[in-house]
Amino acid sequence: MPGSPAPEAAPVHLAVYDTFADWETGHTTAFLARGGYRVRTVGPTLTPVTSIGGLRVAPDLTLDELAPEDASLLILVGADRWDTGDDLAPFAEKARAFLDAGVPVAAICGATAGLARAGLLDDRAHTSAAAPYLAATGYRGAARYVETDAVTDRGLVTAGPTEPVAFAREVLGLLGVFEGELLDAWYRLFHDSDPAAYEVLAAADGDE
C-alpha cells in the first residue's frame, strides 16, 4: 500500500528523551517503516530513556553523532521537559542545522515550543497546541500561527498534541509514502474511520 523510498534513502531519526509523549508519533513511525524507511532513535546519550507511558527506549545513537546528511527527516516529539528547562534545547539547535541543510524536521506538541524559543518559527507558517502556548515563549512568529491540525512550511512540519494522525499525514506526504488520493484516504481512514477510505487503500494495494 505505501510507496517506497529510493533504495539509498537515509534513515528517519526519532528524537527520544525522558517524558517523551509516546502516543504522538506512533502512526508516523509505523507507516514510515511500512513505507520502507528505516527509523532510528536518537537520544541525549545512549542511556535508555523513559516515555510518559513508562516505555523504556535505548537510543540507537546520540544527538552529537547525528548529521543532517545522514538523515531523511528528524522527528521531535513532545515531552514535559520542553517546558521545564533548557535540557532539550540542543535538539532544537539540531533542528536548525537540519533545516539549514535542507533536510526536513517534524515537531509536535512541546517540541514546537522548543523550536519557537530557538526562533525557528518566526518566519514559517506553523501550529501547535494553542496560540497562547507558543506566545508564552516570547517568540516573534505569532503572526504566522495557523489554527489548523498540522502545517508544513519549507520543510518544517508542526502539529499539536491532539493531532498525531494529521502530523503523520504531513510527514507521510512530505516523504512520498502516500500522495494525492491515497494520502487523503489514509487520513480519512485513521482519523475519521471512513470505510470508503479503506476501500480506496485496499484497491490500491490490490493493484500492486
The length of the chain is 208
Q: Is 109 a catalytic residue?
A: yes
Q: Please give the Cα distance from 41 to 196 (Å, whole number).
A: 35
| Helix-strand-coil split of the chain, %, nearest 5 | 40, 15, 45
Strand, coil or helix: 42: strand
Query: For residue 65, with 0-12 CB atoms within 10 Å meaning exposed, 13-18 middle and 19 or more buried, which class applies?
Result: exposed
Which one from 10, 74, 109, 201 is the annotated catalytic residue? 109
Q: Do residues 95 and 107 make contact, with C-beta atoms less than 8 angstroms apart?
A: yes
CA angle 116, 85, 11 (to 5 degrees): 60
Q: Which residues are catalytic?
A: 109
